[in-house]
Structure 1
Amino acid sequence: MFAIEEIYDAAFDRARFPHLIQRLVEAMGAQAGFIGWSDLDRDAGFQCQFGNDPAALQSYIETYAPHDILRPYLHAVPEGVCAPAWELLQTPEVRGSIFYREYLAPQGIVDNLAVNLLKRPGIVAHLALLRRAPAERFSGEECARLGQIVPHLRRAIYIQSHVIRAADHAAGEQAVAGIANSALLLMTADRVLLDADASLGRLLRLRIGEPIGDGIVGGAVARALEYREPVAIELPPGEEAEPLRLLVEVRPLDTNRFGDLAGGPGAAFAVHVTRVDRPRLIAFPAIGDLYALTATELRVLRDAIETGDITEVGDRLGMARATARTHLHRIYEKTGTRGFAGLSNLAHRFGRIAT
């Protein structure tokens, strides 16, 4: 007996799909099976199988895929329709093909019950169940039984796309979180705002779900996209007494397009907006904690970074210059930096806006 709940368990946890396909194979009296989806435009996707000979799968990829005479027929089957291949396998055209004689027949395959779970431009999802001799062909009753499961499998595909969409969204934010003091906007390829830090959205007078337009901010985004370089802008005084100076940087997001099934276009770009008119304070204690610096090393680090000078650190801190140099070299070793330029670069990544 096959429990529908198993499908929805897999929908929210992709690691359960191998067990799901095994249960489907067993419930349908098959000997092997495959389920997966593909983003054809980007050659990406996910698949799992049960009961197939690994050597046969490899030979299909390396040799027989171009000779697969069944593929055009199965791809032409409408979305959601169960299509057994037994009758097709009896035709002289198929039986005389290289694919049948050298690939299907040696494995004893007598039927292939296939379903196009999803057919969208550039994105497809398939289910295939195989029977080998001495098993019989799939009966009409068995096809109907699988047909009752197919709507649940299709829903699972859509649920998985929502999970992927959420993962893409989180990955997009995480990928750019290393840029200190930046607020984040996410937008589609058509420059529609999908998400924004609340305070920044109000400050820039942008609304989620609407295009960012061709104003000062929209124009800066367009230029940053075109030239692949940050763009500086100045906004006239609004809620604040002084003009607002911002640095706008746009980065493309490499997301999984399968998440687009979740509804509407996904995030294509992350826009970083950094205020350049506020002083920044370096979080020296955080650096010390992260790299296990001693109290003296932290004093040396702070003095060197704040003054931009390493030659007179010892004089300023009341220690011998040789001692100061020793502390600096230990700081370089602990932080994995090479010289003062690298150390300064690292320290400023820990900058935060002064309040």
Structure 2
Amino acid sequence: MSGDDDFIALIDSIYETIHDGDVWPKVLTTLADAMDASQVAITSVDKRDSIVSAVAPRTDPALITLYKEYWAFNCPLWRHTALHPVGKPFSLDSLMRREEFSATPIFNEWWRRAEYGLAATAANLIMEDNLSALICVTNAPAIDQMTERQTQLFATALRHIIRAIKIRGRLWGLELNKTAALERLDTLQKSAFLVDAWARVVFLNSTAKAMLDAEDGIVLRKGRLTNIGDSDILQTLIASCVEASLKYKAPGGEFSVERAFPCSPLQVSVAPLRSNQRLSEVSWLGLSAPVAIVTVNDPDCERRQLETNLQRRFGLTAAESRLAAEIVKGDGRGAAARRRGITGATARTHLSSIFEKTGTHRQAELVRLLLDVSEARKLGSEPFGPYRG
């Protein structure tokens, strides 16, 4: 093919990646061929848990494994690449003098073995809080300089690569929404997380975000969702959703997370995410498919929300709403008073006022009303204004 034909084939393959992440090795090979370059690679680092991904179709797979496991964390070039904005090409010479880089362990023990030359051009593709990725093209070790044609072709292809990445990201969000019904998850009153096979959060609703911000019971450790305490039961249950194994009796499960008094235990449920839609993963882009849904019920949060709702709807005082939220449990005024730490006489006074404000006359009638209010809030159908039942 002619040079123009090679370039057209390159652009076509770049946009194929929007729908098929497995095309990236073909893209890089076509780019290297069009540039008459020797080596080409895309590498990324997920900073949440220090996972390195690499697409390098012309590099020995054994050397790629060494890079991901060791050299990526011992390469002096990385800290210099962060100074360059996304989409702006730079040379290896702009990061470090050749004499200096040639004396480093990574050059002598990895770079030369992989047959990467010192004439290299690169660019950042992604620079986010949790993820960074770059593309690098090098000549053969014997060719000391990049030609003007090579640098121009790289810069032109780079614009299309970044555009394809952005489109892929937007489509991923749409596919994820279709697969997991994200809009419905965001209306849940309980915390909901979608997690991948490594327990990394792919999506969380607003209630879940507030829970993580509070760092109370469920937290992120090295980018992975886990529960407080010595047990790693949450990550174990997530792992059970990935593959069937004799190690796990069944996928998913339930458990409680104890918290300091007076907080109630969190109720956690893990279930495999079932869908007829299959998301195409692109690991180096940070696009990993969710395998499980984790829901967390915080009884204290529900009680506080119910208290606020009762104050707004019926004009209860804070003390009255706290007692009413305990009354709804249905085990009597005395038990509710003990949980609230108030005397029986105070509870009777509050209850008399609650009857008057809610238009009820007996405790059983009040409990039914409060249960209706609580259920309406969970379903998102709670009306504003005073109760007209």
TM-score band by shorter chain is 0.3 to 0.5
More strand by share: 1
Q: TM-score, normalised by structure 1?
A: 0.48
Q: TM-score, normalised by structure 2?
A: 0.44
